[in-house]
Amino acid sequence: MTPGIEATAVRRSFADVHAVRDATLQALPGRVTALVGPNGSGKTTLLLMLASLLRPDGGTIRIDGVDPVADPGGARARLGWMPDALGAWPSLTVRETLVTTGRLYRMPREAAASRAAALIGQVGLDELADAPARVLSRGQKQRLGLARALVHDPRVLLLDEPASGLDPRARIDLRHLLRRLAADGRTILVSSHVLAELEEIADDAVFMLRGETVGAERVAAAATRSRDWRVRLLDGPGETFGAETSAALARVAAALPDLDPAVVRVDRRDILMPFASEDEAASALSRLIAAGERIVEFAPATGELERTFLDLGDEGSAP
> Model confidence over 13-26: pLDDT tens digits?
999 999 999 999 99
Stretch among 66-70, 153-157, 223-227 having the lowest mean pLDDT? 223-227
- From 182, 214, 246, the end of a domain falls on 214
Indicate which CATH number applies to the domain containing 300. 3.30.70.980
User: What is the pairing mode between strands 31-36 and 227-233?
Assistant: unpaired
**What are the strands, taking DSSP E only, across the chain?**
5-14, 17-27, 31-36, 58-63, 79-82, 156-160, 187-191, 204-209, 212-213, 227-233, 265-267, 270-275, 295-300
- The count of domains in the chain is 2
pLDDT at 108: 96
> Model confidence over 141-187: pLDDT tens digits?
889 999 999 999 999 999 998 888 788 888 888 888 999 999 999 99
Give domain status of residue 18, yes or no. Answer: yes
Does the pLDDT value for residue 120 go beyond 90? yes
Closest CA to 272 of 289, 252, 286, 254: 252
Find the largest Cα–Cα distance for the chain: 73
Indicate which CATH number applies to the domain containing 164. 3.40.50.300
Domain range for residue 162? 5-214
Global pTM reads: 0.84
Q: What share of the chain is helix, strand, coil (3-state, %, to 5)?
A: 40, 25, 35
Query: How far, in Å, CA of 143 to CA of 178, rounded?
Result: 12
Verify that 191 and 243 share a domain, yes or no: no
Query: How far, in Å, CA of 111 to CA of 143, rounded?
Result: 21
pLDDT at 242: 64
Give domain status of residue 198, yes or no. Answer: yes
Closest CA to 83 of 233, 216, 7, 189: 189
Q: Which is more confidently placed, 41 or 87? A: 41
> Model confidence over 272-291: pLDDT tens digits?
999 988 899 999 999 999 99
